[in-house]
Structure 1
Amino acid sequence: MAPAKSSKKASKTASKYVVDFSNAATIFDKEGFVTFLNNKIKVDGRTGNLGDLISVEKEGDSKVAVVAHTEFSGRYLKYLTKKYLKKTNVRDWLRVVSVSKGVYELRYFNVVVSDDEDEDDDE
């Protein structure tokens, strides 16, 4: 006789995703970002329908946490973050990097000028 299968949905825990913008806190609007996420996150195909399933909260001065009690993709949070950066016209200077599972960080683009280009200008 086969053992009874336990339901994984009943034991589903909350997923937590964090967006850390400590490197870019000077040009990033935290309150605007939280409002944007509250308005744009889709639940059951409808925006602004968070209810008790998803909560967006500020953590300290430079972090925003999204706690989901339903299916929620970290890639979706990254997509929305990039969309907010584009809306506020700072997408040209900042990028979203996954530091670890469920943790995203905003970093400045590294612009490196090579020495070869400088030598060509001198000649």
Structure 2
Amino acid sequence: MVKSKKSITKFVIDCTQPVDDKVLDVALFETYLHEKIKIGGKTGNLASNNVVITRDRTKLTIASPADLKFSKRQLKYLSKRYLKKQQLRDYLRVVAASKNSYEMRYYSISGGDDADEE
């Protein structure tokens, strides 16, 4: 008999805009996630549960087995918490870009410039 390949769920956090502007360091963000992600109510269980965090230049990919039911919502919570810790929460927000990915964007502030100039 052939064993079926275990399905893997991948989540992506895209930090392109803040990294290009040198506001956010992806390496520090990755270590923060390594320390803070909880599995089964405990932190530090990533390796034993086959959860892998990989880093490209501006993107973090979190891969976990599908039967683990890893929460995308937890990634958003931890991302927002990291931004708060770095005092960037007033400038950046975490937005769902697709079903399995988040993106960090700047707040778009558009004031009524015409009325203010007069």
Q: CA deviation at 1:44?
A: 1.2
Structure 2 segments unaligned to the other structure (5+ residues): none
Q: Which residue of 1 aligns with 2:14?
A: 20
Q: Which residue of 2 aligns with 1:81?
A: 79
Q: CA deviation at 1:12?
A: 5.5
Q: Which amino acid aligns with 2:77?
A: Y
Mapped to 2, the partners of 1:52 and 1:116 lie a distance apart of 58
Regions of 4+ moved over 4 Å:
none
Q: Which residue of 2 aligns with 1:58?
A: 55
Name the one with the larger helix percent. Answer: 2
Computed over aligned residues only, the root mean square deviation of the Cα atoms, in angstroms, reads 1.7
Match of 2:26 among 14, 17, 30: 30
Give me the TM-score of the superposition, normalised by structure 2: 0.85
Structure 1 segments unaligned to the other structure (5+ residues): 1-9
Q: Which amino acid aligns with 2:74?
A: Y
Q: How many residues align?
A: 110
Q: Does the alignment pair 1:47 with 2:43? A: yes
Partner secondary structure for residue 30 of structure 2: helix
Q: CA deviation at 1:48?
A: 1.3
